[in-house]
Each structure stands twice: as C-alpha cells, then as structure tokens.
Amino acid sequence: MRRAFASLLTAIAVLAATLAAAANALDPLAQLRPIGLRVSEGDSWHADNDFRLDWERPPVAEQGFAVTAIDYRVRDASGATVVPEIRLPWDATVIEHIHVPPRPAAYTADVRLEGPEGGHGPWESAALRFDDVRPGAARPLAPDGWIAGNAVAVVKIEHPAGPLPVSGIRGYAVSVDRGTENPPCADLSRCKPVETDLSGGIDEDSILLGSLPEGANVVRAVAVSGSG
C-alpha cells in the first residue's frame, strides 16, 4: 500500500512538471529571457568594477513578441540588492557600464526582458567578480653560493604575506636580467595571463631559469592575484 502511494505521488509530480513545461511553452513571457547571458570579458575575476553584459535575443522576440525594455539589478553574496533595479526603455542585447560597489567580492547581476503591455520574462543571472587588491610582496630566494655554468638555476619564491586578495593568487611573474631593472610585467599595476610564468596558484612557487650567463643575474618576482 505504501509503495503504491509513493508511486502515485511520483506520477503526480511528473505530470505536474510536464504540464508546467507545456504551459511555459505556450506562454511567450516565459520564453522572453536573455539567452546566454554572460560577462563580455569572461566570468573570471576582474580588476575593474565596470562590467558589460551580453546575450542573444530570444526566439520569441523574433516572432513578433517584441522586447520593449530591459531591467537589471546587482546583488551581493547574501542576496541583498546593492544596485537597485534599473529600467532601460529599449530593446538591446548588451548592457554596458554596470558598476559594482568598490568592495572586492563576487556579485550577481540579474537581467530580465519586458514585453508588450509591461509583462516581464524571468530573471537570468551572471556572476560579476571584482577584485582590485594587490597581493603582498613575493620575494625570490637566491640559491646558496654560486651556480655552476652548466647547472640549471632553480629559484624558489617566498609566498606573499596575507591577507590574500579575495580572488586568491593566480601565480607568479618572474624576470631575469643583468641589473637593468626589467619588470616582470609590462604594466606595473597588472600582469596579463601570458606574463604569469607560474600559473598554478600560490603553491607553484619554484621556477627553473635554465643556464644563466656568467656573472651576477638579478631575479625579480611578483605575486599575481586572480584578477591579474
């Protein structure tokens, strides 16, 4: 008896889900959603709090159910609204210059489309990850004594002191020169992914420099946060 009752409940739940899906398929507003909502520069951590969102127009909008406006808002990790809902009274597939608060954190942007007569489609969400905090200094540790000319130079990097940025440590950027003060990264405030020589996180902290020219070589290193 109990097993039969459980089977009945399961069948009812399946039927309800099927009916809901069918209702959504018949309801143009349920299909009025930003397709593929995404951060245009990628969903990784960003060192700038100015974001852009892109999406594709839903098929129902191409079938005559016109988009008349776009609503968006931004929430923090607790769900509290930090950028109140803003209405853009036009049709588009992009929102530029969404500014999250200056406090580094992972935020959520919600976007919905408005149809004819003020009806709204469902909210869609994308993560806005912002962190402009620089890590502490990472000091390369010189090997003891002189290195033989035919030996491979290995340098270990001392971890940056905490607290670490919320985006964590992507890795380390390293430069080697003969005292010409060549920085590890072209932009002294940020390092591009291609400039990050060790990109395995904070614990990938040893680098092989190969055979160095005879004399004194200067090694410089910086820790690179998850936002660069």
Give the residue from 91, 107, 130 where a domain finishes: 130
Question: Does 206 lie in the same domain as 148?
Answer: yes
pLDDT, residue 38, reads 97
* Nearest CA among 95, 83, 86 for reference residue 53: 95
Question: Does 199 lie in the same domain as 117?
Answer: no
Q: Quick check: is 19 in a domain?
A: no
Q: Quick check: is 73 in a domain?
A: yes
Question: Does 160 lie in the same domain as 111?
Answer: no
H or E element that contains 8: helix 2-26
Give the residue from 107, 130, 153 where a domain finishes: 130
Q: How many independent structural domains does the chain possess?
A: 2
In sequence order, the β-bridge partners of residue 124 are: 111
Structural domain span for residue 48: 29-130
70-103 pLDDT per residue, tens: 999 999 999 999 999 999 999 999 999 999 999 9
Give the residue from 83, 102, 130 where a domain finishes: 130
Q: Which residues lie closer than 8 Å to 14 by C-beta, 6 or more apart?
A: none
pLDDT, residue 9, reads 52
Residue 94: which CATH number?
Answer: 2.60.40.10
33-65 pLDDT per residue, tens: 999 999 998 889 999 999 999 999 999 877 767
Q: Quick check: is 161 in a domain?
A: yes
Q: Quick check: is 5 in a domain?
A: no
CA atoms within 13 A on the CB side of 181: 1
Relative to beta strand 35-39, strand 69-75 is unpaired
Tokens of 130: 């912002």
Question: Does 145 lie in the same domain as 116?
Answer: no
* Nearest CA among 145, 135, 154 for reference residue 205: 154
pLDDT bin (cut points 50, 70, 90) of residue 26 is: low
pLDDT, residue 179, reads 79
Q: What is the pLDDT of the chain when averaged over all its residues?
A: 87
pLDDT, residue 16, reads 44
Q: Quick check: is 18 in a domain?
A: no
pLDDT average, residue stretch 7-22: 46
Question: Does 179 lie in the same domain as 150?
Answer: yes
